Amino acid sequence: SQIIFERWANARFKYRNRSFWARGYYVDTVGKNTKKIAEYIQNQLKEDREYDQLSMDFEDPFKDYTIEKKRVNKRMKR
């Protein structure tokens, strides 16, 4: 990445921390074994599943509140 930033100086504005790392993307160039890479990917999938369990489905808080109920409440206040 240092060579890229030396050749293309404007890239530093797009990649401020001088790295090309992205979550969920792994590249290694120095012949690491495939077992380590597979473990890394498995851990990423496990982490994603854990985050999916934390998310909640949206439920409309006003689903039972109709216009008729609103009109009745206004009449009762008068």
Of the listed 15, 25, 26, 40, which one is catalytic?
A: 40
Looking at the DSSP assignment, which residues form a beta bridge with residue 22? 25
Tokens 């854990």 belong to which residue? 50
What value does the CA radius of gyration of the chain take, rounded to a whole number of Å?
27
Our answer to whether residue 40 is catalytic in this structure is yes
Two structure tokens written together for 44: 């990423």
CB neighbour class for 51 (10 Å; exposed up to 12, middle 13-18, buried from 19): exposed
Two structure tokens written together for 77: 């206040």
Point out the residues that are catalytic.
40
